[in-house]
Amino acid sequence: MNDYLEIFNLKKVYPSAKGPQTIVQGFNLKLRKGEFVTVIGHSGCGKSTVLMMVAGLSTITDGGIVLAGKELDGPGPDRGIVFQSPSLLPWMTAKENVMLGIEQVFFTAEKEERELIAEYYLTVVGLADSMHKKPGELSQGMRQRVGIARAFALKPKMLLLDEPFGMLDSLTRYELQAVLLELWRKNKITAMMVTHDVDEALYLSDRIVCMTDGPEAGIGDILEVNFPRPRDRKAVMEHPDYYRLRAHLIEFLEVHAHKKKPASTVPAASPAVAVAA
């Protein structure tokens, strides 16, 4: 009916020294068009693996993913991805990095037209003055802004965000969350994000999917987040439901953490872990 992205019975098995290991199993999820869904869970639970399978960058062991009525097979520019590390090509300027994707998607457009698209999105994310700089000359936060601009500039069917703000300090993270939310609202784009930041999930999402810990991770719980939109961080945090939802999420994460081992021994997320997870 209204389902835009459908994930059926997704399964991921990795070969390991101890034989094949099932990371994710029986993952079913449907996203409505224009919905913002966050997948939350511990580092290494397999949430990034699910996202990377939707992106087409990780092979699907079993099950299937349908986007806008078409089964996905491999990666493609119809899904804009924002990685945890901005993954910009360091030998190109910010604008050239954005242009690289635009040239692929809007190959029929005139060069000036493509440049206007790149300049528009870079301006929207606040990089009007820095678009001719190379990533090495930009701060971590500015680089991630380029990453966001690059993803939106493709006019993708959906947006995939893999802990996009995980490497930023909290002030920059707040700024970029607001930039992302504004762009998402204006573009009415379906978004799926992976994070382990509870407040981030609450501020951005329509629904929060809690994943159980791996191996054989699946969906433990799904929370509806009905704060009015457009959202304002302060209003969200003052909403009567905020602390109830937050407590619920934290309790979920803690229960699933203690099932295996104390939370303190859970390794911190690094880019390598996040991609492999």
In the complex, minimum distance from the CB of residue 1 to other proteins, in angstroms, rounded to a whole number: 29
CB of 206: closest distance to other proteins in angstroms?
A: 25
Decide: is 55 part of the binding site for other proteins (CB under 8 A).
yes
Going residue by residue from 83 to 122, which x/- string records binding to other proteins, judged by CB under 8 A?
Answer: x-x-x-x-x--------xx--x------------------
Token digits of residue 51: 């996202």
- What 3 state SS string does 36-79 have? EEEEECCCCCCHHHHHHHHHCCCCCCEEEEEECCEECCCCCCCE
| Extended beta strands in 92-248, E state | 158-162, 190-195, 207-211, 219-224
Q: Is 270 in the site for other proteins (CB under 8 A)?
A: no
Backbone angles phi, psi at 4, to 5 degrees: -105, -45
Q: Are 209 and 222 in contact (CB under 8 A)?
A: yes
- Total residues contacting other proteins by CB under 8 A comes to 20
Q: Which of 56, 141, 164, 214 binds other proteins (CB under 8 A)?
A: 56
Give whole-number Cα distances, 235 to 171, 201, 224, in Å. Answer: 18, 15, 17
Which residue, 102 or 204, has its beta carbon nearer to other proteins? 102
**75, 126, 218, 220: which one contacts other proteins (CB under 8 A)?**
75
DSSP at 218: -
**Token reading at 22:** 């099932």
Closest approach, Cβ 78 to other proteins, in A, equals 10
Q: Which of 26, 34, 76, 215 binds other proteins (CB under 8 A)?
A: 76
With beta carbons less than 8 A apart as the criterion, state whether 159 and 151 touch.
yes
Residue 231 CA to residue 228 CA, distance in Å, equals: 6
Give the interface segment with other proteins, choosing from 7-15, 71-79, 215-223, 224-232 (CB under 8 A): 71-79
Which of residues 100 and 266 has its CB atom nearest to other proteins in the complex?
100
Nearer to other proteins, 60 or 275 (CB): 275
Q: How far apart are CB 57 and other proteins at their closest, in Å?
A: 6
The H or E element that residue 2 is part of is none
Q: Which of 13, 109, 178, 275 binds other proteins (CB under 8 A)?
A: 275
**Beta strands 70-71 and 79-82: pairing type?**
unpaired
Question: Of the candidates 10, 24, 81, 161, which one interacts with other proteins according to CB under 8 A?
Answer: 81
| φ, ψ for residue 131, nearest 5 deg | -70, -15
The footprint of other proteins on residues 154-183 (CB under 8 A) is: 154
Nearer CB in complex with other proteins: 40/118: 118
Minimum CB distance to other proteins, residue 45 (Å): 21
Q: Which long-range contacts (CB under 8 A, 24 or more apart) does 69-78 make?
A: 77/101, 77/104, 77/105, 77/154, 77/156, 78/154, 78/156, 78/157, 78/158
Q: Which residues bind other proteins (CB under 8 A)?
A: 55-57, 74-77, 79, 81, 83, 85, 87, 89, 91, 100-101, 104, 154, 271, 275
